[in-house]
Chains A and B, each alone.
Chain A
Amino acid sequence: MLILTSTTLEGKKITKHHGLVTGDALLGANLYKDMFSGVRDVVGGRTTKYEEELKSARNLAIESMRQKAEEKGANAIIGTFVSYNNLGSTMGNTIMVTVYGTAVSFQE
C-alpha cells in the first residue's frame, strides 16, 4: 500500500477514486505527570518517551486508515494529511492523532 501526502501520482494512471479514508488514535497521557515522574531523557532533559508515544499513535492511525483503504480495494492513498489535536481540559491531556486521505487505485 502506497501512502502519500502528495495530491497526484506522477507518471501513473489513477484508475479509480475510492473516496475518503480516515484513521484515528488517541494518546491518553498527561505530559507533565510523565515528565516529572522521571521519564526524562539523559541528554537535554526532554522526554523522548513522549515523542515515541506520539509516533506509535500516528502509526496506529495510519494502520487503521490503511485497513479501511484495503477493504475498499484501493492500492494507494494520496493526499494524506496527519493532524494532531489537543483534547481535554487544562489538567489532563489527550492527544488525538487523525489521519485522512483519499483511497485510489492506480496502474503503473
Chain B
Amino acid sequence: MVSSAKKYLIEKRWALIAIGLGTALGFASAILCIAWNLVIFGFNIMYIVSPLLAGFVETVIASKKYGRSTGAISALLTFMLINGYGWFGPGWIFPKEPVTLSLITIIAIVLTLQAAFPTLINYILFVGVVGTLTKLTGFLIRKPSQISAMLPENLEQQGITSQTDDIFLEELNIPLLTVHPLNGDKIDKYMGMVAGEAVAEEKQAEGRVSGLLKIIEPVQLDSINLGNARKTALSRMLEEAKAMGANAVEEVLIDYVSMGGLQGSATIVTATGTAILIEDGAAKTPEKESGEKLMGAIDDTDVSQIDGDDSGEKTSAPESHEKIKEKSDKKGDKISSKELSQRIEQYIHEKNHPSTLERETLVKNKFKDIGDRYNHISNELAQFEEKFAEYDAKYDAYINKKIHKIYGNVKMTRHADYKENRNVRIKEGIIGKEVLDVNLRVMGKVKEVRVNSHNQVESIIIGGGGILERFGLSKNDITIPFNRVSSLGDRILLKK
C-alpha cells in the first residue's frame, strides 16, 4: 500500500512538481501585482495574469519533464486560492476586498476552467452555448419568408405563380425567340448582337442575425430577386435592339453567374441575342398591294380626268387650275412636254371664258361691299369711344370721393386694431419669461399679465415656481406693478 503510493508519487513527481511550481509562481505573481498595485480599469490584473502564468509554467515544465500536460491544475488552484483568500481570508497580504462578481471575474473563471479542462469547456462554449443561441435567435427572429416557406400550400404555389418577368414577357411587342425563326418569316436584315446585364442581390431586409443564419440555412428561391433581374436584363437588351431598329430578337440566351463569397451573394443575370428585322407574311402583303394601287391610280388619271374638268367644272376655273398644278406636282417628271403644253392651252382658254370674267366682277363687287361696311363700323366705334371718355370724366370724381371715404374708414379701424394688438403682443412676449430681481436672482416665470381698462399693462404676475405651479396649485404668486420693470428682454429685470 505504502509502496504503491510511493511508486505513484515517484511516477508523478514531475507532475506534482510542475503543479506546485505553477501554483507558487501564480501566487507570487499575485502578490507582486498587489504590491505594485497593477490595476487596469479598476481591476487588478492578477485575477487574469496569475492563473495564466501558473498554468503556463506548469504546462511548460510538465510537457518537458513529465511528458504530457497535467491540465493546468495549478491555474485553477491559484485562482481558487486568490479568490478564496480575498473572500474568506483574514486579509494579511491581500487587502480585504472580495472579488466582485463582474463580467471580468466570470471571464477569468471561465478562462481558468478552460485552461484546466479544455475539452469539456470548449465543448460547452462552442457547441452548447452557440447552438442554444442559434436556436434561440432562429426562434425569436423568424424571417417572413421562412414562415411562408413553412406553410405547405405556399410552397406549392411558388412553382405555379408567375414571376414578375413572366407578365412582362407576355406584354412584349417585340418577339423574343431562343431559336432561329423558321415558320415562313423571312429575316430581312441582321442588326447585330444585343446584350443586357443586371445584378440580382439577395434581399437584405432581415438584418445581421439572419445574415448569420443564412450561412447555416439553404437560400430560398424567392429571397433572391431573380425575376426582376431577368426582366431588367431582358429589357436592357430590348432597348438596345429597339435603338437598332429591330423588330425581333432571335437566339436569346440567358445566363447566370454567381458572385460574392461569404458576405452574401449576388447573381449577375445576362441576356444576349441577335437583333433582326423580320418581314412576316401578314405585315408584308397589304403594304405592297396599296402601293400597287397607288401606282395604278396615277397611271389612270393621266388624260381622262383633265377632260372631265373641262366639261363639268367650267365655272370654277381657278380651282381646276390648281388641280392641274397639283397633279403636275404629283407626277413630277413623268409628264411629257406635250401634255404640259396641252394643259397650259386649256388654262388660257378657261381664263378667257365669259363665265370666268363674270365671276371676277362678282368678287370685285363683294370686296367693295366689305370695304364699305368696314368703314361704317369703324366710324361707329369712334363715336362710342367719345361717349365713353365723357362718362369716364364724369364718374372719376365720384369714385375718387368714395375711395377716399373708405380709405379713411379703414385707416381708423386699423389704428384701433394696432393699439389692441400691441398689448396682446406684449402680453404674449412677456408670458413665460424669467423674472430676475435686483440681485439677479431668478424669481420665477411670468404667469399672467394684467391690463387695465386703458389698454395699458398694469402689472405682471409671477408664478411661485416648483412642482405645484405646474399643476396650477401654487398660491405663492407674486404680483409686480409694471412700473417696477426696468428692462424687457430675454429675461425681465426689475428695479427697486
Contacts and interface: CB of A to CB of B under 8 A. Distances in A.
17 contacts: A3-B193, A5-B251, A6-B190, A6-B250, A6-B251, A31-B259, A32-B260, A51-B197, A54-B268, A55-B197, A58-B197, A80-B272, A82-B270, A82-B272, A89-B261, A95-B257, A95-B259
Interface in A1-55: 2-11, 31-32, 46-47, 50-51, 54-55
Closest 3 CB pairs of A and B: A90-B261, A54-B197, A84-B257
A19 to B, nearest CB: 19
B22 interface: no
B187 to A, nearest CB: 5
Nearest to A36: B263
A8 B180 contact: yes
Interface string B160-200: 00000000000000000000100000110010110101110
B192 A51 contact: no
Contacts of A83: 255
B240 to A, nearest CB: 10
Contacts of A8: 180
B257 A86 contact: yes
A29 to B, nearest CB: 10
Main secondary structure of the interface of A (DSSP, over half): mixed
Contacts, number: 84
Nearest to A12: B190
Main secondary structure of the interface of B (DSSP, over half): strand
A31 B273 contact: no
Contacts of A67: none
Contacts of A90: 261-262
A91 B261 contact: yes
Contacts of A9: 190
B253 interface: yes
Contacts of A55: 195, 197
B252 to A, nearest CB: 8
A48 to B, nearest CB: 9
A82 to B, nearest CB: 5
Interface residues of A, number: 32
Nearest to B180: A6
A86 B259 contact: yes
Nearest to B263: A32
- Of A81, A82, A91, chain B has the most CB atoms within 10 Å of the CB of A82
A62 interface: yes
Interface string A82-98: 11111001110101000
Contacts of B259: 31, 86, 93, 95
Nearest to A29: B259
A58 to B, nearest CB: 6
Interface string B249-292: 01101010111111110101010111010000000000000000
Interface string A68-82: 000000000000111
A82 B236 CA distance: 16
A80 B252 CA distance: 12
B201 interface: yes
Contacts of B266: 31
A25 to B, nearest CB: 13
Contacts of B195: 55, 58, 82
Contacts of A6: 180, 190, 250-251, 274, 276
Given A5-B272, A51-B199, A10 B193 contact: no
A18 B187 CA distance: 24
A11 B193 contact: no
Contacts of B186: 10-11
Given A4-B192, A6-B180, A11-B186, A46 B258 contact: no
A62 B198 CA distance: 18
A85 to B, nearest CB: 7
Contacts of B192: 2-4
Interface string B136-147: 000000000000
Nearest to B272: A82
Nearest to B229: A46
A54 B233 CA distance: 12
Nearest to A4: B274
Nearest to B198: A51
B258 A5 contact: no
B258 A10 contact: no
Contacts of B268: 54, 84, 95
Given A31-B266, A84-B268, A95-B259, A47 B274 contact: no
Given A82-B272, A84-B257, A95-B268, A10 B263 contact: no
Contacts of A46: 199, 201
Contacts of A58: 195, 197
A82 B270 CA distance: 9
A10 B187 contact: yes
Nearest to B225: A46
